[in-house]
């Protein structure tokens, strides 16, 4: 099977999806800006370097010329900004996969909520806004607190919670570069993910992860060490309600083959509310977290799903897995790390990954990547123990920079 895979070298985890495709026997034709390093090239049968992977019309024209009549079987993308381009290319080249209209239901946050609401599912009240006047009209209808975020954004970039008129006046100048935004009801409650590997919209593998704190708080406060803990026991009633919501969302949005990443809320009264969903794998270690939860390789299983429509790995959930992202205090280079040795003494048997930046390494921009200044991954069959280890890493380990 010959597969065109968009941007195999960036973001970093796309290298793993490229490997997965090659390991299930696909002939992988990569398209991206920048040149792949030798380690990645061994998984590629060909590579087209383009000036800008974001220039959709140019990319389509260049790929059409590059293929020179060679047939292809799939066009795939697992990076949020490229899922519509992949759909456009599928339609241009006549290969199977989700249509542009279906993919836009996952990419356009307002259209997404309209389609999910039309299926009778609970979504935040929201309005599409294109001007300052639109924003004020929307917030008057929705009320405070509200969330303002890009229609086609990813993660929590350019996303703001506004609690008053003064808040809105402060936020609006930061959104001048955003062409379209969504102004929506703020949902108070616990935030979870619902992640799947789906075949024709039916989940072959399902996972739920709890955010500590909620995603917007993670992205808004530098002092926080964000924590994500996957839930081993999916049979709990409150988790089951979120899973049922997620399955209904997949049907409402006409999901095809591939991975999905959804966020949902559990309100204090027990109501579950849809947040948003993407028709691609979650970033920021979400796939790694699921792999550690079940001791499988979802990069390879995703490849099997999108090429031959099968999922062959075990779906047994063995562990609750905590990912703890750390942010150094100060700017510049990491100068000191406190508490890590003691943490290893307490939890060594349960630490499965450690990518914390060591002294001498420049800090990363915490606003640009949730990976921040590195992370730890821990796992345990017991939920309370997994959370205890994760929270201990969040509070007891400190990085300093100057």
Average pLDDT over residues 290-300: 98
Same domain, 114 and 130: no
Residue at a domain's end among 54, 81, 97: 97
Query: Does the structure show a pLDDT above 90 at 197?
Result: yes
What pLDDT sits at residue 156? 60
Same domain, 258 and 179: no
Judge if pTM exceeds 0.85: yes
**What mean pLDDT is reported for the chain?**
95
Residue at a domain's end among 318, 342, 361: 318
Residue 305 belongs to what domain range?
99-122+188-318
For 57-68, the pLDDT digits (tens) are 999 999 999 999
358 confidence band (pLDDT: 50, 70, 90): very high
Average pLDDT over residues 303-329: 98
**Higher-confidence residue: 219 or 254?**
254
Nearest in space to 90 (alpha carbons), one of 64, 51, 58 = 64
What pLDDT sits at residue 341? 97
For 26-80, the pLDDT digits (tens) are 999 999 999 999 999 999 999 999 999 999 999 999 999 999 989 999 999 999 9
Same domain, 192 and 290: yes
Q: CA separation (Å) from 223 to 299, 391, 402?
A: 32, 14, 16
Same domain, 290 and 259: yes
Same domain, 138 and 249: no
Same domain, 402 and 388: yes
> Residue 9 belongs to a domain with what CATH number?
3.40.50.20
Residue at a domain's end among 292, 318, 344: 318
Same domain, 301 and 325: no
Query: Does the structure show a pLDDT above 60 at 155?
Result: no
Same domain, 380 and 236: no
174 confidence band (pLDDT: 50, 70, 90): confident
Same domain, 325 and 314: no
> Residue 153 belongs to a domain with what CATH number?
3.30.1490.20
Query: Does the structure show a pLDDT above 80 at 400?
Result: yes
User: Which contacts qualify for 89-93: CB closer than 8 Å, 24 or more apart?
Assistant: 89/4, 89/59, 89/60, 89/63, 92/60, 92/64, 93/64, 93/67
Same domain, 394 and 304: no
> Residue 276 belongs to a domain with what CATH number?
3.30.470.20
The tally of domains found in the chain comes to 4
């Amino acid at each position: 099977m010959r597969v065109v895979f968009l941007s195999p070298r960036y973001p970093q985890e796309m290298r793993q999806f490229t490997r997965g495709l090659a390991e299930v026997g696909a002939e992988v034709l990569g398209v991206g800006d920048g040149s792949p390093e030798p380690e990645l090239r061994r998984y590629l049968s060909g590579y087209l370097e383009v000036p800008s992977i974001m220039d959709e019309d140019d990319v389509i024209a260049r790929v059409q010329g590059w293929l020179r009549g060679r047939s292809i079987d799939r066009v795939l993308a697992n990076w949020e900004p490229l899922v519509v381009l992949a759909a456009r290319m599928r339609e241009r080249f006549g290969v199977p996969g989700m249509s542009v209209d279906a993919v836009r239901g996952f990419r356009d946050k307002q259209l997404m909520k309209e389609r999910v609401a039309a299926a009778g599912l609970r979504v935040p009240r929201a309005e599409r806004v294109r001007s300052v006047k639109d924003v004020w009209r929307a917030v008057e209808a929705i009320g405070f607190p509200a969330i303002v975020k890009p229609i086609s954004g990813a993660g929590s970039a350019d996303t703001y919670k506004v609690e008053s008129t003064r808040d809105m006046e402060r936020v609006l100048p930061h959104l001048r570069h955003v062409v379209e935004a969504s102004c929506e009801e703020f949902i108070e409650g616990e935030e979870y993910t619902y992640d799947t590997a789906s075949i024709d919209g039916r989940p072959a593998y399902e996972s739920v992860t709890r955010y500590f704190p909620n995603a917007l708080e993670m992205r808004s406060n530098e002092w926080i060490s964000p924590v994500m803990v996957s839930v081993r026991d999916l049979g709990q009633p409150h988790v089951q309600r979120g899973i049922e919501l997620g399955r209904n969302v997949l049907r409402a949005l006409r999901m095809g083959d591939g991975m999905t990443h959804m966020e949902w809320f559990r309100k204090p009264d027990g109501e579950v509310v849809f947040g948003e969903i993407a028709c691609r794998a979650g970033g920021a270690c979400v796939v790694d977290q699921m792999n550690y939860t079940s001791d499988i390789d979802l990069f390879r299983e995703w490849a099997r799903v999108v090429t031959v429509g099968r999922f062959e790995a075990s779906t047994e959930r063995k562990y609750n897995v905590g990912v703890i992202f750390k942010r150094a205090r100060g700017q510049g280079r990491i100068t000191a790390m406190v508490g890590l040795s003691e943490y290893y003494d307490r939890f060594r048997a349960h630490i499965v990954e450690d990518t914390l930046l060591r002294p001498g390494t420049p800090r990363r921009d915490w606003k640009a990547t949730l990976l921040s200044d590195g992370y730890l991954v821990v796992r345990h069959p017991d939920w309370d123990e997994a959370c205890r280890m994760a929270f201990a890493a969040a509070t007891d380990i400190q990085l300093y920079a100057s």
